[in-house]
Amino acid sequence: MLQDQRIWLLISLKISGEATKAELEELEMLLKQNPELAATVDDLQRLWKKKHKAVSKEAEDALARHSQRLNKIMRAGVTEPEQKIKEKAALQNAATNGKLYRFWWAAAAAVVFVIWFFVRSTEGNSSKAIDNTVSTKAGYKASIDLPDGSKVWLNGNSKITYSGDLKGKTREVFLSGEAYFDIAKDKTRPFIIHTRTINLKVLGTAFNVRSYENDKETETSLVHGSIEVTLRNNPDKKIILKPGEKLLVKNSLTGDSLSKDKKSAVSDEEEPIAVLARMRYYGNDSSSVETSWTKNRLIFYDERLDKIALNLERWFNVSVTIKNEKLKKGKYTATIEEGDKLHEVLEALKTAEGFHYSINNKAVIITR
């Protein structure tokens, strides 16, 4: 309960522009643990920016009914143990240190949440509570038949969350990890996928999304159909993908640039946050590198060893540590089939560029 109150306090501080750097970092961590709230934060921010516009009489009534209760919730939310002393002192000395002003901005932002929730409900948008979550451990995969007829293949160490029936005006899911989607066509109800970095809007198509927490990039690869991608930190900027294209977006969203085929339009010092490139195909059967995992194989084409290591961790459920910076940047081309042993894979990589490795239970250490 305290964590629920805390997260709504932090959301309120964020959208009102009153959150400190530490509070923003705390909120980001909590949203990673509760990915289903990410879309709510986006909606609240848009509503907050438009707060000068008149709201309906029903929304005003909702505000009047809930303002007192929200005030209690907000005050309760600042009594969490790690914040108790600091927040209590801030409220007691509000007249002199200005903290009360900051608090009420947060309370005002919380009221925006009430209006948002009421309007969403009265408009008939069935944004029901998220009640279905499917997750996989490292080394395991899962296939999911969604209620709308769409199919999802979930890679290892991944999680997808969605509402019970997907019968609202939009069909929305939340992804952490990697998944391949084959979306049932419905022109009247877009299918929306939320990750921590991007939102994807589709009507009916097949594509792969890779959005692991410890990866540097979120990658979307389109097999067929069409996808509209929106950067979460810049919702007005939309990128349309064509079949055979992939979009890589840095998970640390800084800057505002898009480059194609990794030829940046910005200076060398300022890397683009989004890169548009072509999907890669390899082998006699022209398998897609990006979707090879759905066929129980991993294909690496001119890939850095540190990125391969992340894939090995999820494929074999191990931890891999590379104790040499030069080795991390080494490029490798290889194919791993289901049933291959970990030591066999490491031996094959080792022949391409000499290194030493040791395996101790589930810990792999690679050295020069």
Are 32 and 54 part of one and the same domain?
Answer: yes
Decide which of 92, 122, 152 is a domain's last residue: 122
Residue 101 placed within a domain:
yes
The Cα–Cα gap between 184 and 202 comes to 10
Are 6 and 107 part of one and the same domain?
Answer: yes
Query: Backbone phi, then psi, for 309, in 5-degree steps?
Result: -60, -40
User: Which tokens go with 127?
Assistant: 């944004």
* Neighbouring C-alpha atoms within 13 Å toward the C-beta of 67: 8
What is the pTM assigned to this prediction?
0.63
Query: Backbone phi, then psi, for 181, in 5-degree steps?
Result: -115, 135
How many folded domains does the chain comprise?
3
Are 51 and 174 part of one and the same domain?
Answer: no
Are 94 and 142 part of one and the same domain?
Answer: no
Pairwise pLDDT comparison (158 vs 30), residue with the higher score = 158
% residues pLDDT > 70 (the chain): 64
Residue 18 placed within a domain:
yes
Residue 32 placed within a domain:
yes
The Cα–Cα gap between 72 and 92 comes to 16
pLDDT of residue 7: 74
Residue 286 placed within a domain:
no
Torsion, Cα 103 108 110 112, to 10 degrees, reads -160
Q: Using one digit for the tens of pLDDT, what is the confidence trace for 58-69?
A: 555 554 554 454
Decide which of 98, 122, 146 is a domain's last residue: 122
Are 178 and 239 part of one and the same domain?
Answer: yes
Residues 6+ apart with CB under 8 A from 218: 195, 196, 197, 198, 209, 210, 211, 248, 249, 251
Residues 6+ apart with CB under 8 A from 130: 36, 161, 162, 163, 174
Q: Using one digit for the tens of pLDDT, what is the confidence trace for 148-166?
A: 999 999 999 999 998 878 8
Decide which of 248, 281, 314 is a domain's last residue: 281
The Cα–Cα gap between 278 and 358 comes to 36
Residues 6+ apart with CB under 8 A from 283: 299, 335
Residue 287 placed within a domain:
no
Please check the confidence at residue 281 and state whether its pLDDT lies above 60.
yes
- Which domain does 248 fall in, by range? 132-281
Q: Using one digit for the tens of pLDDT, what is the confidence trace for 288-346?
A: 899 999 989 898 888 999 999 999 999 999 999 999 899 999 998 888 888 899 999 99
Are 41 and 148 part of one and the same domain?
Answer: no
User: Which tokens go with 312?
Assistant: 């090995």
pLDDT of residue 159: 92
Are 242 and 312 part of one and the same domain?
Answer: no
Are 267 and 314 part of one and the same domain?
Answer: no
User: Which tokens go with 89?
Assistant: 């002192």
Burial class from Cβ neighbours inside 10 Å (0-12, 13-18, 19+) for residue 165 reads middle
| Domain CATH number, residue 310 | 3.55.50.30
The Cα–Cα gap between 29 and 82 comes to 16
pLDDT of residue 287: 76
Residue 127 placed within a domain:
no
Are 274 and 330 part of one and the same domain?
Answer: no
Are 8 and 148 part of one and the same domain?
Answer: no
Residue 156 placed within a domain:
yes
Are 174 and 272 part of one and the same domain?
Answer: yes
The Cα–Cα gap between 297 and 212 comes to 19
Please check the confidence at residue 282 and state whether its pLDDT lies above 80.
no
Residue 288 placed within a domain:
no
Q: Using one digit for the tens of pLDDT, what is the confidence trace for 218-261?
A: 999 999 999 999 988 788 888 999 999 999 998 875 444 455 55
Q: Using one digit for the tens of pLDDT, what is the confidence trace for 179-213?
A: 999 999 998 899 999 998 899 999 789 999 999 98
Are 96 and 151 part of one and the same domain?
Answer: no
The Cα–Cα gap between 146 and 143 comes to 10
| Domain CATH number, residue 190 | 2.60.120.1440
